[in-house]
Chain A
Amino acid sequence: MKRAARYVIFYAGLFGLWTLLAELKIWPPYLFPTPWGVGEALYNGFADHTYWIAIRVSLERVLIGYSISVLLGMILGLGVASNKFLEETMGGLLVSLQSLPSICWWPLALLWFGLSQNAILFVVIMGSLLSVTLAMEDGRKQMPKIYSQAGRNLGAKGFKLFWYVLLPASLPFIVSGLKQGWAFAWRSLITAEMLYLSLGLGQVLMMGRDLNDMSAVIAVMLLIIAIGYLVDGIVFKGMERRLQNRWGLTPAT
């Protein structure tokens, strides 16, 4: 209850400040829109289906890109964690690559794939692959050895050992990495979409700028935040809660 009250006070204050600044008309409304201007832009965007289409296109892309990087990242991470040669060579490379912002792959992606969906996907994958790989490698190393021994002892080997033992055993250690990978994938996607006519949320955002419509820009920014937050709150928080219940871990606060 107290917590809810704090939320209400904080956001009411923020809203009030915004309204006040907008009402004082220090800046012209196309540079500093009012809250209802943004609300109207949101309503119009959904009414003429622009936002629905943009959200669908963006979610589809991020889902494909993220799935591919999770799959690749798990294979790579496992490989690096279980092979000394790979660990010494590729391990260092992966860490150093992580300092490269994913959008730096854009020129390369353009040359390889042209102005297409694939170029965007490539940037998304490069953005999230490394965090997933490093998380998987770390998870595999942190996972107590006894699980794989017990699994092998009970007759699990090869893919079955990976799927029924190694993967679930390392999940608590990789879930934060998966979450980080998702955040990177989402950011990379929006960045890449801003760079050409892509139909996604990123492009709709740039369209607002091109039309000098700051209300629309802020409306789309809110959408991007909301989607990122929702996925985090529903998918990953749910996963964490389930893991905590099963493993009997105390929730990390």
Chain B
Amino acid sequence: MNSNAARVAHESAVPAKPQFPICVEQPGARLDIVSTHLAHRGLRLETSKVGLRSVCLSYRTQDGQRLLALDDIHLEVRAGEFVCIVGPSGCGKSTLLHLVAGLQAPTSGEILVDGRPVQGPGTDRILIFQDHGLFPWLTVGENVEFGMKMKGVPKAERKERTLHYLHLVHLAKFHDSYIHQLSGGMRQRVAIARALATEPDVLLMDEPFAALDAQTRDLLHDELERIWNETGCTIIFVTHNVREAVRLGDRVVLLTFRPGRVKSEFPVDLPRPRSLEDPEVALAARAVLDQLREEINSSLEAEYTSGVKPRIEPGVTA
């Protein structure tokens, strides 16, 4: 299937829309997939997929003060790239995803997707929430179908695609279950299937695996990497776990504590598939962590001085 899609792309002037699933066997094939996707939409690999230009966000607190949450954020994400954003809690990294998702508007600056400014939510960018945000009144299948239903996809096609994406996350058997009947890891996989079913170009993931146990998380890391490979989508992944960021990302972006600014970027050139336990991953994480520590310290300081009891960040471990 994969080689077919790639060949079609080379032979015809207007490449056919690539079909899912696409399996990647040889390294380098992923780039082909990504460019096939892009060519279908009249774009090139060099275009930046998501661009944040001088993005600021401030809001008024309850006592009337203006609080700057995000300050002059510049970030370019290439098509098909897997970018991880880390930072201490309260640095606005979740807010950043909400901005890209269009659920919130920046105070100033511009957010571009495929070179066009973001105006409100769109199904080309799907956000996956930390606590999954699945609809408890719908079955697993109906949840996955939801985005397509809103788009007006015909029923037969919806059913087919729903099954396809449930297969992709190995949950086809649970098509008719309700959300509360699933375990935490399964729920997160449904959320991923629901997001993928709308066939987004950009997946925005807001600490999706933070509430899961270590084994489940490892498993989902592998699955996410596989899905990313197969679909060619772009992923912006927010986490407070540096190792997770290094294990998954092509690049790790570190934000400062309030107001959130881009402090530094770390390209991760380690071969895939990676594992959380790889010594190289640990080593690369160490470099990020050293810088993150400074930010955590300043966040603790801020909490000390404001009279709030300091909190130990549970997730930040090397």
Measuring CB to CB, which residues of chain A are less than 8 angstroms from any residue of chain B?
146-147, 149-157, 160, 164-165, 168-169, 171, 243, 245-248
**Are A154 and B129 neighbours in the complex by a CB distance under 8 Å?**
no
Across the A-B interface, how many residue pairs have beta carbons closer than 8 Å? 65
Known contacts A246-B136, A247-B137: A154-B198 contact under CB 8 Å: yes
**Neighbouring A residues of B198 by C-beta, 8 Å:** 154-155
**Are B150 and A171 neighbours in the complex by a CB distance under 8 Å?**
no
Number of interface residues of B (CB under 8 A): 27
**Neighbouring A residues of B36 by C-beta, 8 Å:** none
Residue among A169, A243, A248 with the most chain B CB within 10 A? A248
Q: Which of A153, A160, A248 contacts B136 (CB 8 A)?
A: A248
**Neighbouring A residues of B123 by C-beta, 8 Å:** 154-155
**Are B121 and A155 neighbours in the complex by a CB distance under 8 Å?**
yes
B146 at the interface (CB under 8 A from A): yes
- Measured in the bound complex, the distance between the Cα atoms of B135 and A243 in whole Å is 12
- Measured in the bound complex, the distance between the Cα atoms of B138 and A165 in whole Å is 10
Q: Which of B121, B131, B137 contacts A153 (CB 8 A)?
A: B121
Q: Which of A147, A152, A153, A245 contacts B135 (CB 8 A)?
A: A147
**Neighbouring B residues of A160 by C-beta, 8 Å:** 150
**Are B135 and A248 neighbours in the complex by a CB distance under 8 Å?**
no
Within 8 A of A (CB), among B133-161: 133-138, 146-147, 149-151
**Are A149 and B103 neighbours in the complex by a CB distance under 8 Å?**
yes
**Neighbouring A residues of B129 by C-beta, 8 Å:** 146, 149-150
- Measured in the bound complex, the distance between the Cα atoms of B181 and A164 in whole Å is 21
A sample of 8 inter-chain contacts (CB < 8 A) reads A147-B133, A149-B133, A150-B133, A154-B126, A154-B198, A155-B122, A155-B150, A169-B135
**Neighbouring A residues of B126 by C-beta, 8 Å:** 153-154
Residue among B103, B121, B194, B198 with the most chain A CB within 10 A? B121
Q: Mark B177-198, 1 if CB is under 8 A from A, else 0.
A: 0111100000000000010001
**Neighbouring A residues of B137 by C-beta, 8 Å:** 168-169, 171, 243, 246-247
**Are A153 and B103 neighbours in the complex by a CB distance under 8 Å?**
yes
Residue of B nearest to A155 (CB): B150
**Neighbouring A residues of B99 by C-beta, 8 Å:** none
**Neighbouring A residues of B122 by C-beta, 8 Å:** 155
- Measured in the bound complex, the distance between the Cα atoms of B289 and A180 in whole Å is 56
Q: Closest 8 interchain pairs by CB?
A: A248-B180, A150-B133, A154-B147, A155-B150, A168-B137, A146-B133, A155-B123, A247-B136
**Neighbouring A residues of B150 by C-beta, 8 Å:** 154-156, 160, 164
Known contacts A150-B135, A155-B121, A168-B137: A247-B147 contact under CB 8 Å: no
B101 at the interface (CB under 8 A from A): yes
**Are B151 and A155 neighbours in the complex by a CB distance under 8 Å?**
yes
- Measured in the bound complex, the distance between the Cα atoms of B181 and A146 in whole Å is 20
Nearest-Cβ distance from residue A175 to partner chain B, whole angstroms? 12
Nearest-Cβ distance from residue B53 to partner chain A, whole angstroms? 23
- Measured in the bound complex, the distance between the Cα atoms of B266 and A172 in whole Å is 47
**Neighbouring A residues of B292 by C-beta, 8 Å:** none
**Are A153 and B127 neighbours in the complex by a CB distance under 8 Å?**
yes
- Measured in the bound complex, the distance between the Cα atoms of B103 and A152 in whole Å is 8
Known contacts A149-B103, A245-B178, A248-B178: A154-B146 contact under CB 8 Å: yes
Residue of B nearest to A243 (CB): B137
